A and B are shown apart, each in its own frame.
Chain A
Amino acid sequence: MAESKETLLNKEFGPVVYDVEKWWAKKFAEAIDDPNPAWQKVTPPTFPTALILDDLDKAIHSYGSYTAGLNGGNELEYFKPIRIGDTITVTGKIVNMKERSGKLGTMLIIISELSYTNQKGELVAKCRNTSIKY
């Protein structure tokens, strides 16, 4: 169901819980074609993107009457490594929504922030995402 800007802003999405399985981390590093042996124990830096917060993605996707979307940018901050075997809990919220005109016509810029916590309750990473709808 589509929501209004007012109800979407700062609404808490999640938690979603993921087990960071060995095969998954291996497939992830292979997809980047990154042979660093470090990825046999910890996950590559962009692994948080695989820990999807589906409800947040759907809320961004279904908002407004735009027909398409693009990823405008992502900023990650790391506090602890995400290790193979960890259980990671993801939560997130939309912190800003604004319209502006660009080369694709009227665009909506949505900023969301996600937090990733491990099984010990330690914050391991944060991610700030810019989604563009047009």
Chain B
Amino acid sequence: MAKQVYFEDVNIGSEIPTLVKHPTPRQLVKWAGASGDYYEIHYDKDFALNNKLPGTIVHGWLHLSFLGQMMTDWIGEKGTLVKLGASYRGMLRPHEDLFCKGKVTKKYTAAGKNYIEAEIWVENPSGEKTTPGAATVTLPARK
């Protein structure tokens, strides 16, 4: 775990440390079991091809889970996740490196809490943003 990040350390444009993931078919099966999403497009290649897909694809919720991992790693024990969301615009395929990234877009204090808003996304190996999203967190202050 990285050391605790504080509100004062973060500015508009600050980058959130990149998280690299490499989902395998095994991971997609584990996700299916843990989440209860047994839709066959995620582990049955013939089924996926018959549904006009290029092959099996990574669950949208797993893209979002990776972004959630990136955010909770970054905000640390004393940070709180307030909002997390993403749209699945492009497909991610198993066996590829995925890059979770983010950049701070807003910083403000309201009702005694220190809020940070960030643009977040997942990139495929070609550098395309398949999964644009947004997150809101609160961070502790140094004083």
Tell me the A residues contacting B by CB distance below 8 Å: 24, 27-28, 30-34, 36-38, 44-46, 49-50, 52, 67-78, 104, 128, 130, 134
Contact = CB atoms under 8 A, between A and B. Distances in A.
Contact of A31 (B35, B41, B82): B35
Given A31-B34, A45-B65, A46-B64, A77 B82 contact: yes
B85 A27 contact: no
Contact of B85 (A31, A74, A104): A74
A76 B84 contact: yes
Interface residues of B, number: 37
Contacts of A128: 85
Interface string B11-35: 0000000000100000100110111
19 contacts: A31-B31, A31-B34, A31-B35, A34-B65, A44-B68, A44-B72, A45-B81, A46-B64, A49-B35, A68-B51, A70-B60, A72-B60, A72-B87, A73-B88, A76-B84, A76-B85, A78-B81, A78-B83, A134-B52
A36 B73 contact: yes
